Amino acid sequence: MTKSQPEKGMWVIGYGSLIFKPPPHVSHRITGYIQGYIRRFWQSSIDHRGTPSSPGRVVTLISLDELRNDRFFHNDLHTYEVHNGDNDTADTGADVDVDHHSIDQLQPQDLKVYGCAYYIAPQHVDEVKQYLDIREQNGYELKSVKFYIKEVQAEQDNVVDLISSTHIPASDLHWDEFGAYIESSIYIGGLDLKSFIGPESIHDTAKIIKTNVGPSGKNSEYLIKLTHAVRELNCRDYYLEDLLKLIEE
């Protein structure tokens, strides 16, 4: 009996290697962001950018709720996100005495991770899911989040133009007080999994990335390509920028 194909296409978010190495069968790509997360190289990699005896580092996301609940994350959050790029402390390695109340006052919309969302047509959904399940098997879990379309902040008078310019199926396009968004799948490493190693100081992370190599290539190549890919989205990620400076020293 022939297996029936999914009736709907699928959106997949890239915030790490998927930005510079998209999945197969991509029909079109849009640029945007998710809210309520930060991006960090706090996922160990034993199958792509490292080995079991010498794990590398790849990116994962940490949610605002997780950040609030664990004070160990607060200094890092304050250095890169709360300061909005005023990250002089990162160059010195100094700790910041973070007021717990300032973290509690953060809202999901205060934290944005920029990346890409890829549309996979219905006839390719099963194949791409299998591909991604293998590619992201080392400690990543599949979740669904809102992906906001960059530079679309309010509902436009001519929705047809937006659909035409972004190639988003009309049924996939939604609006809320923050702008236009789609519901999309995303792979995130869980904090309770063995592969999650955060929080890790940026200097320790840089030392590992600088020297590690795995089946997919040099760990430093991953960081370099990701940082440049984010720049090409006309976005800044101060954590990535600082990490890149450290491995280039």
Alpha carbon distance 218, 214 (integer Å): 6
CA atoms within 13 A on the CB side of 170: 5
What contacts 69, CB < 8 A, 6 or more positions away? none
- Count the neighbouring beta carbons within 10 Å of the beta carbon of residue 10: 20
Partners of 14 in the beta sheet? Answer: 116
CA distance 130 to 177: 35
Give the residue numbers annotated as catalytic, written as ranges: 136
- Cβ of 74: how many Cβ atoms within 10 Å? 20
> Which ranges of the chain does DSSP label H, i.e. alpha helix?
17-20, 64-69, 74-77, 88-92, 100-104, 125-135, 159-166, 202-211, 219-232, 238-248
**Distances, alpha carbon 36 to alpha carbons 64, 101, 119, 148, in Å:** 5, 17, 23, 12
The token duo for 48 is: 């792509």
Bridge partners of 57? 44
